[in-house]
């Protein structure tokens, strides 16, 4: 009930609407304490639109209140706006109260992502006098799991995986006390009433419990064992990153040849020398989302098995109390922390599943009793031009909405691409993007795709019959095929249009005429060829393809994307063989030539990703790539070691980039014995120049001044930096995906945006 009292003429009464991530993050107790400290009366409540406040008191104190709502909000909250929805002259006397939530009305409640343990909880964790001393499940309204324990909305303990743990009197009292940091903290627990950890050996037999389990696990890690460790959204495989033998063993058992492992460092100090730590990287590393951050290497070296042949290492800091306890108990200060799976399977998150699938891989299991409701991988973030750019969006970010726009009213379900899949759901003014799901060719990942799709639509109360289903034009993607199983109307969207649309949607460039450069490895084009070096122009609802990389042949088709030497032959066929053959391996060239002769499986491609592969092969990359983009990453690492400013010619004429002068110049340099680092660099700078030339030519003729960059090729920092800086000098505004990946993890957002255009009768 609103507090009663008589009106005081000097005051004011305001109704305030607070929007954003303001539920399940300690916002109401914060409002309560703030109002009390300012001597205001009124109430606060959660409702489906966020938080609603009525505050009454002198005008200047209400002013201070409003400002503090934004400035002093709890770390885990994201206040998107405070709006005065009603204003009345005259204050009301009385106290300030927290009211029961209003459940009626719109179903949209923003679900908070999982949050790293907060400073206050950490202090308690290591305070011998605290009842939660060394308790690995300590949390409060400012921190802890959210999305990964949520079974259904509204977010209340009986609808979380904590439902089977009943609160002890002390926890209960804290849970009910509006002034307590654990007021309505759904996962609240203590050693008396909450879950615990146990350590099992490699066969799954229990060895130790509670504190002893953690101490022994830390010792096993020191001794070089590989441990499966249950975390927030799944199991990790952990081992000492400074122990080459342990890392090599993990690689062999995980069937992971070269793909870099992520690290967890005890703290920032433990990273010193191994990675460069600019302030923006430190901010990101210590943010409540605690993503894996891609960092430039420092002078100190790690065993090559950790991250072979790449210029950066992916590092995160401890984010659960358990991680902190492991380091405290003496675990090595740099751990490999990779997802608990084999090869390309999704991360294991159910205990039985982990024990079964990781049997023979892990030499011990550190298993906690709190169930995980859904799989949520670690997020990966890069820094592009000093700003965070998502590489893999999951823990700490999902399922926060990426776009808020009133035009999204009718539900749209966007199914994403085939690789690095994530899906999107648009409804009631929001576009939600799911956590990273993975490569759908993998059966478990496909299963996760289906689960996530039903999970998201159920959570946001979207009936599947009502949702417009948007999928990739490629009919063979498992996501496209699954569209047929869904009841709603369907819309197929071209892959590279979706890439550009993702930038438009993320940055709200709805009416803006943009030049969009969509560069990646593969996507089915509207003319049946394989696209991947495309330029679009127009506002979103009228995007035209206005340019592309000249087409080359792709011997072996999309399946050959893993053989850079085959791609090279496709780009060079027609040029004198004596010129290029010496720089490629014998066997793959023979295979490619015979494929070309037979004409079988040789589509045309305008893929820039394949051009990168071709250049990498000529510069000496050999054999089959063991992960997507490996050859291009290798070439970029090489180019970053170069010093020169020369660039190979990459002319853009009549809507086409001609790659021949570029590759001819590259071959000439190789024949002259120029250092490969310089050759790789000139290739990069040539591409950058060609892109800028295209932007200038098209921008001038169309009168456009805004550029959108999307597609996996833009993960390339050297190319990205050169293009962005040059375009800015020419007066362009340049946008790229930051909240979703520029790679295929961002496709679903673009599909949702194009779906919306279709619903509006545009595009
Ligand atoms: Zn906390
Ligand atoms: Zn308790
Ligand atoms: Fe793509």
> Comparing 17-21, 225-229, 422-426, 705-709, which segment has the lowest mean pLDDT?
17-21
- Asked if the peptide bond before residue 657 counts as cis, ω within 30 degrees of 0, the response is no
- The CA 353 to ligand 1 mean position distance, Å, reads 30
- The CA 367 to ligand 3 mean position distance, Å, reads 37
Q: pLDDT tens digits, residue range 428-443?
A: 999 999 999 999 999 9
> Comparing 6-15, 80-89, 368-377, 385-394, which segment has the lowest mean pLDDT?
6-15
- The CA 32 to ligand 1 mean position distance, Å, reads 18
Q: pLDDT tens digits, residue range 284-316?
A: 999 999 999 999 999 999 999 999 988 899 999
State yes or no: pLDDT of 2 exceeds 50: no
User: What confidence tier does 653 reach under pLDDT thresholds 50, 70, 90?
Assistant: very high
- The CA 191 to ligand 2 mean position distance, Å, reads 6
- The CA 215 to ligand 3 mean position distance, Å, reads 45
- The CA 635 to ligand 1 mean position distance, Å, reads 44
- The CA 712 to ligand 3 mean position distance, Å, reads 6
- The CA 114 to ligand 3 mean position distance, Å, reads 28
User: What confidence tier does 29 reach under pLDDT thresholds 50, 70, 90?
Assistant: confident
- The CA 138 to ligand 1 mean position distance, Å, reads 7
Predicted local distance difference test score (pLDDT) of residue 300: 95
| Ligand approaching nearest to the C-alpha of 748 | 3
- The CA 484 to ligand 1 mean position distance, Å, reads 45
Instruction: Say if residues 433 and 457 touch (Cβ distance below 8 Å).
Output: no
- The CA 152 to ligand 1 mean position distance, Å, reads 23
| Ligand approaching nearest to the C-alpha of 162 | 2
Beta-carbon contacts of 699 under 8 Å, excluding residues fewer than 6 positions away, are 515, 705, 707, 730, 732
Residues, CB-to-ion distance under 5 Å, ligand 3: 520, 744
| Ligand approaching nearest to the C-alpha of 168 | 2
| Ligand approaching nearest to the C-alpha of 76 | 1
Instruction: Say if residues 706 and 512 touch (Cβ distance below 8 Å).
Output: yes
- The CA 742 to ligand 3 mean position distance, Å, reads 8
How open is the CA angle 396-401-406, to the nearest 5 degrees? 165
Rounded to an integer, the average pLDDT of 123-137 is 98
State yes or no: pLDDT of 733 exceeds 50: yes
- The CA 331 to ligand 1 mean position distance, Å, reads 23
User: What confidence tier does 108 reach under pLDDT thresholds 50, 70, 90?
Assistant: low
Reference 584, options 595, 593, 597; nearest CA is 593
- The CA 79 to ligand 3 mean position distance, Å, reads 33
- The CA 131 to ligand 1 mean position distance, Å, reads 14
- The CA 234 to ligand 2 mean position distance, Å, reads 24
User: What confidence tier does 656 reach under pLDDT thresholds 50, 70, 90?
Assistant: very high
Rounded to an integer, the average pLDDT of 614-627 is 94
| Ligand approaching nearest to the C-alpha of 195 | 2
State yes or no: pLDDT of 251 exceeds 90: yes
Residues, CB-to-ion distance under 5 Å, ligand 2: 168, 171, 190, 192-193
Rounded to an integer, the average pLDDT of 248-258 is 92
| Ligand approaching nearest to the C-alpha of 141 | 1
Rounded to an integer, the average pLDDT of 206-225 is 98
| Ligand approaching nearest to the C-alpha of 473 | 3
What percent of the chain has pLDDT above 90? 83
How open is the CA angle 77-82-88, to the nearest 5 degrees? 140
How open is the CA angle 73-79-81, to the nearest 5 degrees? 125
- The CA 713 to ligand 3 mean position distance, Å, reads 9
State yes or no: pLDDT of 58 exceeds 90: yes
Alpha helices, H only, 333-427: 351-357
> Comparing 437-446, 648-657, 690-699, which segment has the lowest mean pLDDT?
437-446
User: What confidence tier does 465 reach under pLDDT thresholds 50, 70, 90?
Assistant: very high
- The CA 261 to ligand 1 mean position distance, Å, reads 29
Predicted local distance difference test score (pLDDT) of residue 3: 41
- The CA 165 to ligand 2 mean position distance, Å, reads 9
Predicted local distance difference test score (pLDDT) of residue 344: 72
- The CA 609 to ligand 3 mean position distance, Å, reads 10
Q: pLDDT tens digits, residue range 407-423?
A: 999 999 999 999 999 99
Q: pLDDT tens digits, residue range 550-605?
A: 999 999 887 777 899 999 999 999 999 999 999 998 998 999 999 998 887 889 99
What angle, 0 to 180 degrees and rounded to 10, lies between the N-to-C axes of helices 660-671 and 608-618? Answer: 10
- The CA 137 to ligand 2 mean position distance, Å, reads 11
Mean pLDDT value across the chain: 93
User: What confidence tier does 763 reach under pLDDT thresholds 50, 70, 90?
Assistant: low
State yes or no: pLDDT of 1 exceeds 90: no
| Ligand approaching nearest to the C-alpha of 175 | 2
State yes or no: pLDDT of 107 exceeds 90: no
- The CA 731 to ligand 3 mean position distance, Å, reads 27
User: What confidence tier does 228 reach under pLDDT thresholds 50, 70, 90?
Assistant: very high
- The CA 160 to ligand 1 mean position distance, Å, reads 18
Predicted local distance difference test score (pLDDT) of residue 103: 55
Predicted local distance difference test score (pLDDT) of residue 479: 97
Predicted local distance difference test score (pLDDT) of residue 446: 96
Beta-carbon contacts of 633 under 8 Å, excluding residues fewer than 6 positions away, are 309, 310, 311
H/E element, 479: helix 478-483
Predicted local distance difference test score (pLDDT) of residue 4: 38
- The CA 233 to ligand 2 mean position distance, Å, reads 23
- The CA 190 to ligand 2 mean position distance, Å, reads 4
Q: pLDDT tens digits, residue range 485-496?
A: 999 999 999 999
- The CA 569 to ligand 3 mean position distance, Å, reads 23
Chain Cα centroid distance, residue 160? 24
Residue 353: C-alpha distances to residues 74, 343, 436, 444 (Å): 36, 16, 20, 12
Q: pLDDT tens digits, residue range 353-365?
A: 899 999 999 999 9
| Ligand approaching nearest to the C-alpha of 420 | 3
- The CA 182 to ligand 1 mean position distance, Å, reads 8
User: What confidence tier does 209 reach under pLDDT thresholds 50, 70, 90?
Assistant: very high
| Ligand approaching nearest to the C-alpha of 165 | 2
H/E element, 576: none
| Ligand approaching nearest to the C-alpha of 185 | 1
Provide the pairing of β-strand 401-404 with 227-230: unpaired
Alpha helices, H only, 308-434: 321-328, 351-357
Predicted local distance difference test score (pLDDT) of residue 255: 87
State yes or no: pLDDT of 249 exceeds 60: yes
Predicted local distance difference test score (pLDDT) of residue 102: 63
Rounded to an integer, the average pLDDT of 704-722 is 98
Predicted local distance difference test score (pLDDT) of residue 153: 80
Q: pLDDT tens digits, residue range 317-355?
A: 999 999 999 999 999 999 999 999 887 788 888 999 899
- The CA 411 to ligand 1 mean position distance, Å, reads 35
Provide the pairing of β-strand 530-538 with 514-524: antiparallel
User: What confidence tier does 155 reach under pLDDT thresholds 50, 70, 90?
Assistant: confident
- The CA 140 to ligand 1 mean position distance, Å, reads 4
State yes or no: pLDDT of 106 exceeds 70: no
**pTM recorded for the entire structure:** 0.91
| Ligand approaching nearest to the C-alpha of 142 | 1
């Amino acid at each position: 009930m609103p507090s009663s009292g008589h009106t005081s003429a000097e005051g004011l009464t305001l109704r305030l609407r607070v929007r954003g991530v303001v539920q399940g993050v300690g916002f109401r107790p914060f409002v309560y304490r703030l109002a009390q400290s300012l001597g205001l009366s009124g109430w606060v409540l959660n409702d489906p639109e966020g938080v609603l406040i009525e505050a009454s008191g002198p005008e200047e104190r209400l002013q201070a209140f409003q400002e503090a709502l934004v400035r002093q909000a709890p770390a885990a909250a994201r206040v998107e706006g405070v709006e005065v929805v009603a204003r009345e002259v005259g204050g009301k006397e009385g106290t300030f109260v927290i009211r029961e939530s209003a459940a009626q009305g719109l179903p949209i409640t923003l679900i908070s992502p999982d949050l790293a343990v907060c400073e206050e909880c950490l202090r308690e964790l290591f305070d011998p006098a605290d009842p939660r001393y060394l308790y690995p499940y300590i949390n409060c309204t400012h921190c802890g799991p959210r999305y990964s324990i949520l079974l259904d909305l509204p977010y209340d303990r009986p609808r979380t995986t904590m439902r089977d743990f009943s609160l002890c009197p002390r926890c209960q009292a804290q849970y009910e006390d509006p002034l307590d940091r654990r007021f309505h903290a759904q996962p609240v627990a203590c050693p008396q009433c909450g879950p615990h950890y146990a350590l099992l050996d490699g066969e799954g037999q229990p060895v130790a419990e509670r504190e002893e389990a953690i101490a022994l696990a830390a010792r096993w890690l020191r001794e070089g064992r590989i441990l499966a460790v249950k975390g927030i959204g799944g199991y990790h495989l952990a081992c000492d990153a400074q122990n080459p033998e342990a890392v090599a063993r993990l690689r062999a058992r995980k069937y992971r040849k070269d793909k870099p492992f992520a690290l967890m460092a005890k703290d920032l100090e433990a990273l010193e020398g191994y990675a460069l730590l600019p302030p923006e990287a430190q901010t990101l590393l210590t943010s409540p989302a605690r993503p894996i951050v891609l960092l430039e290497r420092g002078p100190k070296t790690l065993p090559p098995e950790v991250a072979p042949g790449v210029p950066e290492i992916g590092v995160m800091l401890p984010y659960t109390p358990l991680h902190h306890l492991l380091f405290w108990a003496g675990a090595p200060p740099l751990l490999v922390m990779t997802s608990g799976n084999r090869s390309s399977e999704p991360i294991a998150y159910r205990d039985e599943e982990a024990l079964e699938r990781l049997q023979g891989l892990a030499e011990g299991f550190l298993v906690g009793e709190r169930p995980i409701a859904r799989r949520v991988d670690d997020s990966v973030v890069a820094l592009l031009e000093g700003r965070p750019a998502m590489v893999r969006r999951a823990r700490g970010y999902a399922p926060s909405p990426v776009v808020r726009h009133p035009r999204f009213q009718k539900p749209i379900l966007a199914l994403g691409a085939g690789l690095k899949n994530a899906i999107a759901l648009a409804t009631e003014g929001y576009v939600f993007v799911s956590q990273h799901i993975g490569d759908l060719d993998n059966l478990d990942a496909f299963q996760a795709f289906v689960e996530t799709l039903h999970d998201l639509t159920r959570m946001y109360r979207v009936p599947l019959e009502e949702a417009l289903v948007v999928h990739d034009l490629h009919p063979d993607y498992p996501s496209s095929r699954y569209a047929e199983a869904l009841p709603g109307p369907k819309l197929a969207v071209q892959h590279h249009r979706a890439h550009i649309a993702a930038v438009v949607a993320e940055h709200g460039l709805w009416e803006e005429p943009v030049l969009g450069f969509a560069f990646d490895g593969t996507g089915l084009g509207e003319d049946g060829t394989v696209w991947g070096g495309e330029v679009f122009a127009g506002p979103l609802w009228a995007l035209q393809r206005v340019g592309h990389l000249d087409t080359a042949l792709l011997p072996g088709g999309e399946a050959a994307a893993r053989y850079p030497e085959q791609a090279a032959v496709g780009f060079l066929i027609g040029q004198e063989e004596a010129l290029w053959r010496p720089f490629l391996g014998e066997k793959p060239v023979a295979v490619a030539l015979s494929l070309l002769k037979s004409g079988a499986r040789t589509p045309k491609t305008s893929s820039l990703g394949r051009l990168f592969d071709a250049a990498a092969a000529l510069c000496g990359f050999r054999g089959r790539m063991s992960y997507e983009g490996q050859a291009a990453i290798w070439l970029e690492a090489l180019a970053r070691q170069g010093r020169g400013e020369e660039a190979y010619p990459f002319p853009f004429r009549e809507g086409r980039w001609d790659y021949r002068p570029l590759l001819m110049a590259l071959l000439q340099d190789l024949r002259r014995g120029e250092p490969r680092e310089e050759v790789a660099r000139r290739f990069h700078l040539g591409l950058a120049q060609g892109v800028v030339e295209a932007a200038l030519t098209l921008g001038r003729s169309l009168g456009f001044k805004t550029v959108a960059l999307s597609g996996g090729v833009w993960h390339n920092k050297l190319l990205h930096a050169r293009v962005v800086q040059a375009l800015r000098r020419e007066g362009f505004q340049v946008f790229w995906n930051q909240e979703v990946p520029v790679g295929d993890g961002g496709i679903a957002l673009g599909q949702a945006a194009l779906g919306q255009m279709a619903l509006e009768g545009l595009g």
